[in-house]
Structure 1
């Protein structure tokens, strides 16, 4: 099974990053359309790729080629240096899902990662990474992005209609028959509740293991 971390740990403020940036399907799982998800900090591919590949090389064998759809990457470098070797980078415009990255290893094979947009909120990113690393998942990267947008819309709408303001006292009132809710709960946390998702991390590391190097 994919390793999990608790929700409080997911949202606490700790350095270098309070949020997981990489989620991979369990080793040996049934083939799916996606092998996991990566949440880069920016759209600077040359700057972001080395740290990702440095983590993947020991898991998947040395990555030799990477391909992306350039629609979301302002600049696609021809190659990047990773731990003493060169990785070639290419692109496909019509043949490749714009939210997907293809990785090839000379020793093992190929993988497809959903690329979570850097500006994505933590709740949506957590759901996307969990869905993309589901060994039974059969959704494309673009389809998962559409579903994440829908979930966020539902969560934000739910938060907006939950509270009703008393026209006289100016304070928040609730339906006495309903379960008490916390108005401070964010749309991000509602997404995880609605989707029933537990934040995920590296599949080969126990849940209580020290954090891996930042991605």
Structure 2
């Protein structure tokens, strides 16, 4: 499999003068060793009819005319049978058990086949950037789902580190003493000293 790196940095979400947003796509470098993934695509939605034309328009001149695309329907609510793209029609198929749910497979009957990692549209820009870099690094050999799981691990670990750092700051600024006072200190005792109304009032 051969691919070319384009649109780098790929995660910039700018809108050119044509008012159509840039394609968020990054491909493995030309001449790199065959890998499980040829690139990463970060669509803006899970609507294949809306998303595929721009992707195919960029890939056609690079890889030869894309004639067929397959997906796993797990994350695609509607899988159309055909999608019209610039000057031709791309047939769309799906495989539930045989295809990684985070992968898009593209076929060209003049050149070959390519596999793209599909980054979920709701992914943050930071995580998407990490995924695009990892997916196009020839030294990595993770599946599409493996890349997503690794990114989720890093995201969770980063959030845990952030929470831990916030707690350390809280404690260093006296937050620990305030918590202890709230549960065991004078404020709790003061509640016991509220005078009770006399009987008969």
Which interval holds the TM-score relative to the shorter structure?
0.7 to 0.9
Q: Where does 1:116-127 land on structure 2 (aligned, <5 Å)?
A: 116-127=119-130
**Paired residues, number:** 165
1:15 deviation in Å? 2.9
Tell me which residue corresponds to 1:39: 42
List structure 1 runs of 4+ shifted beyond 6 angstroms. Answer: 17-20
The 1:30–1:53 alpha-carbon spacing in structure 2 relative to 1, beyond 3 Å, is same
1:98 equivalent in alignment to 2:101 = yes
Which residue of structure 1 lines up, in the alignment, with residue 140 of structure 2?
137
Task: Tell me the residue number matched to 1:15.
Answer: 15
Which has the higher relative contact order, 1 or 2, with Cα contacts under 8 A spaced 6 or more apart? 1
Q: Does residue 70 of the first structure (1) align with residue 77 of the second (2)? A: no
**1:19–1:122 Cα contact (<8 Å) kept:** no
- Compared with structure 1, are the counterparts of its residues 89 and 30 closer, same or farther at alpha carbon in structure 2 (3 Å cutoff)? same
Q: Mind listing any 5+ residue stretches in structure 2 that lack a counterpart?
A: 176-201
Is residue 2:153 matched to residue 1:146?
no
CA RMSD of aligned residues (A): 2.4
1:47 Cα deviation from its structure 2 partner:
0.7
Residue 28 (structure 1) shift: 1.8
Larger Rg: 2
Relative distance call for 1:20 and 1:52 in structure 2 (3 A) is closer
State whether structure 2 residue 170 is matched by structure 1 residue 167.
Answer: no
Taking the aligned partners of 1:158 and 1:18, their CA distance within structure 2 comes to 34
What TM-score does the superposition give when structure 1 sets the normalisation length? 0.70
Per the TM alignment, residue 18 of structure 1 is displaced from its structure 2 partner at its CA by 9.2
Tell me the distance in 1 between the aligned counterparts of 2:49 and 2:21. 23
Using the size of structure 2 for normalisation, the TM-score is 0.75
Q: Unmatched 5+ residue regions in structure 1?
A: 169-215
**Which stretch has the larger CA shift, 155-164 or 26-35?**
155-164
